[in-house]
Amino acid sequence: MLTARVQLFEFLDALPLAGSQAQLRVRVAGQWMVRVQVPPIEGEPHPHGPPEFVEELRPDFSRAVTVEGSGMTGLDGRALIELSLDAAVAAVRRQRKGGKSPVSLAFDQSLSADAFGVSLPWSPRVQAVGLGPDAMIDRTLVIDVAKSIVGDTSAVHTTLWFQLHGAPAAGDRHVCELRTVGSNQPARRLGLRFDAARAQTATTVFLGLQPATRYAYLLIAVRADHSEHVLTQGRLRTLPADPQRLSLAFGSCHLPSGPAALGRWQTLARRDDHDLLFLIGDQIYGDGIEKQFPDTDSWLERYIRRYNQLWAYQPMRDAMRSRPTYMSLDDHEVVDDWGTDRPKSEPAKSEFEARERDGVEAYRIFQQAHNPGGYGAPRFDYHYRRGPAAFYFTDSRSARGRSAAYPVMGSAQLNRMRAWSRSAEVREADLVFVVVPVPPAILPIAEIEKWASLAAPVVGAAGGSLAGAIAGGILGGIGGFIVGGPAGAAAGAALGAEIGAGTGAVVGAVGASAYYEHLEDTIQDPDVRDAWTYDKNLPDLVRLMDLLFDVANDIDAQGRPGPRPKGVFILSGDYHFGAIHLVRSTRKSGAHDHRNNPAMVQITSSSISKDAVNMPEFETIIRAVESGGEFPLDGDHYRAKFVGRLMQRNFGRVAYERSGPGRRYRMQMYVEGDSDALAELFEIDLDARPVTMRNLVGELLAARGRITLLRVHDIGGGYGPPSDRIDGEVIITLDSEPGRAFGFQLRRDASLALRQRLLGLLRDAFNHNRTVAIDYLRTGQHNGTLIRASALNP
């Protein structure tokens, strides 16, 4: 009797899957001696004469006899399957080939399983050496049964979203159980109803929770026999009732090209230093799904498959199931440059509308369902308040391209934002965070277009090949890099250069001014026309800047500055690089007097897993823009400048903390890459006139994280000038502070013993991968002097 012990585990946490069926298939085949020709050895001379043959023992699985068996898993996820192979062995031994019985037998095996509606396909057949009628085999299978996301969460409620990866079995029902971590309070349960029309998803909301409390949740299947089975699990932490300190992480553009591309997700899943997670566009890439899934004509089915494909990665799911996660959409939720190009003629118009409708429906199912407002929300922009901070997530896609007067956001959303900006939710806040997936402050397209139009006439009379090529190359390269990365940039630049060279002479004849107007009318690159700073989008850019700076200056409905200016921060993504911009208003009169608070900060984080921009030409363009310091956004009142940029996969992180009396807040802003980071730390004083942002160099600050580098210069190997000999130095870096280092000196003085104890604590934490909390004196943009440290977990 062949015996197989098969154990089934759930994908994310290796939970044993009880009450599931494991299946084993064994094939028995005869083996005969077969005469085969010896192939010539490559590179050696081929001998003349008859070919050389040898005899080999080969199985004939075309005549194999198959035996199958199954078993149900117990509480430990183990199933015992017993198969009698006697009849199969006897049948094969009776087979004849060329009048000869089989010399021996061969066996192969394949496994499958069915757990709570999810069926694993039969594994590839593996020829089993040594397998026989009385063998014992052990196998392990992993099944991805369900996924979960922690959605909209406050101090007293949380939204939980689940998806089953298979249809529930008849008679099964499902509940979500919520327990307080570290408490003996009874668990709370809510029933779930999974909707097949919505990709087997369900959402539930727990009310009446305790502030600043850790909870664990379970998705449980209750079978007809009343047995209960955990399908997936997660954890969450509610916010404080009035959070005076809050940290959020954010990212965009998820399209991993390989295991290394998941590094930022792995860091996010491991870290515990953010209260909220914002995913602000391009959580999937819907481009080309008709080619990826050609076996269905349903756009909705294609989008559902794409979500399940790109959301299968463990670190991404670990991050989303453990933090309140808020999402917004960008173009790739439907297709590249969605809204910028809308077909006008049939049949393309009808096909696009069907695709758009189903892409939006898939967004509702997988993303909007756990946002404020839920699946049935009438719109995709939303807002909420947490403590002193107000949040607004804009929708710059679904209305794009529908109105020439309101080209990006649409008039209805702008009216909603104006009403929000004048509400108590905002007027009584101190800090305002606005999610705008495509960065408003970005390369000034109009300035580059003007430069291109002015460059071409220089050689227009001589044919214009050089300057025209440069001008066209820059414009084409910008459009290409935004979505296509290096390859897109190269292709765009090459095409632009070819066109530019061909038109240079014409430009010289008509003049720069005429050519610039012509350029504005004929630009067709959708990536350029997608930018806020493209001329035809400027009306909405100005409206957005007016509104945000009015909020920053507490402008009331009558256009008068109020007593409570606010710190306003824009969170953006989309462009496949990280950046921090300072945006400034020069408006001083009328209904938009911005003198009390003339500046705000834009933080851009992209991409979290898609390949980042890696293009020297793009760096050249940025340096050209930066050479003048600030660059104009609208040509009148709004200007911006790069504070820093990062050409790596990254995520953003923002933390605020009230500091002292009044309305002063310490702000920490990071764009964290794989090996480097942008960091801006400052204190904003909202009671000052004008509002000030003071750099925190020289201030005592705190950080926590795991030590990623510990470097010690040995005592006794002194260095430094003879008048100030240093016996040693300790340097550490933390995973939560990439691009920054902290250290202290080891001197032979009265404090040496204390410093050595500090070094011992750091060594122990480093060796055992423990989290440490440190206090440090910030001495520069990227470093600090370590004052004290403590280990946070045993």
Query: Which of 56-70, 118-132, 144-158, 460-474 shows the lowest per-residue confidence on average (mean pLDDT)?
Result: 460-474
Average pLDDT on 213-226 reads 95
The pLDDT value recorded for residue 46 is 63
The pLDDT value recorded for residue 538 is 93
CA atoms of 413 and 396, how far apart (whole Å): 9
Q: Taking Cα atoms as reference points, which of 292, 173, 314 lies closest to residue 234?
A: 314
Percent of the chain with pLDDT over 90: 65
The pLDDT value recorded for residue 31 is 94
- Strand pairing class (136-143; 126-127): unpaired
The pLDDT value recorded for residue 40 is 73
The pLDDT value recorded for residue 57 is 92
Whether 587 and 594 have beta carbons less than 8 Å apart is answered as: yes
Joined together, the tokens standing for residue 721 give 């000038």
Is the bond leading into 526 cis (omega within 30 degrees of zero)?
A: no
The string of pLDDT tens digits covering residues 446-460 is 666 555 554 444 444
Whether 792 and 734 have beta carbons less than 8 Å apart is answered as: no
Whether 116 and 169 have beta carbons less than 8 Å apart is answered as: yes
- In this predicted model, which residue has the larger pLDDT, 691 or 120? 691
Joined together, the tokens standing for residue 351 give 């096909």
The string of pLDDT tens digits covering residues 656-699 is 999 988 999 999 999 999 988 999 999 999 999 999 999 988 88
Q: Taking Cα atoms as reference points, which of 299, 272, 188, 176 lies closest to residue 232?
A: 176
Most confident of 148-157, 512-521, 703-712, 756-765: 148-157
Most confident of 495-499, 671-675, 789-793: 671-675
The pLDDT value recorded for residue 122 is 84
The pLDDT value recorded for residue 460 is 44
Q: Tell me the pLDDT band of 723, cut-offs 50, 70 and 90.
A: low
Domains (range + CATH), the chain:
2-143 (no CATH), 145-241 (2.60.40.10), 445-529 (no CATH), 700-791 (2.40.50.50)
Query: Which of 33-42, 478-487, 518-527 shows the lowest per-residue confidence on average (mean pLDDT)?
Result: 478-487
The pLDDT value recorded for residue 697 is 87
Q: Taking Cα atoms as reference points, which of 551, 574, 520, 548 lies closest to residue 640?
A: 548
The pLDDT value recorded for residue 200 is 97
E strands within 49-135?
53-59, 65-72, 78-83, 104-115, 118-120, 126-127
The pLDDT value recorded for residue 519 is 41
- In this predicted model, which residue has the larger pLDDT, 427 or 699? 427
Whether 324 and 151 have beta carbons less than 8 Å apart is answered as: yes
Indicate the average pLDDT of the chain.
Answer: 86
Percent of the chain with pLDDT over 70: 84
The pLDDT value recorded for residue 169 is 85
The pLDDT value recorded for residue 762 is 95
Query: Which of 159-163, 408-412, 414-418, 738-742 shows the lowest per-residue confidence on average (mean pLDDT)?
Result: 738-742
Q: Tell me the pLDDT band of 340, cut-offs 50, 70 and 90.
A: confident
The pLDDT value recorded for residue 550 is 97
pTM of the model: 0.86
> DSSP for 338-371?
TTT----STTHHHHHHHHHHHHHHHHHHHTGGGS
Average pLDDT on 587-599 reads 92
The pLDDT value recorded for residue 635 is 80
Joined together, the tokens standing for residue 191 give 């029933």
The pLDDT value recorded for residue 714 is 63
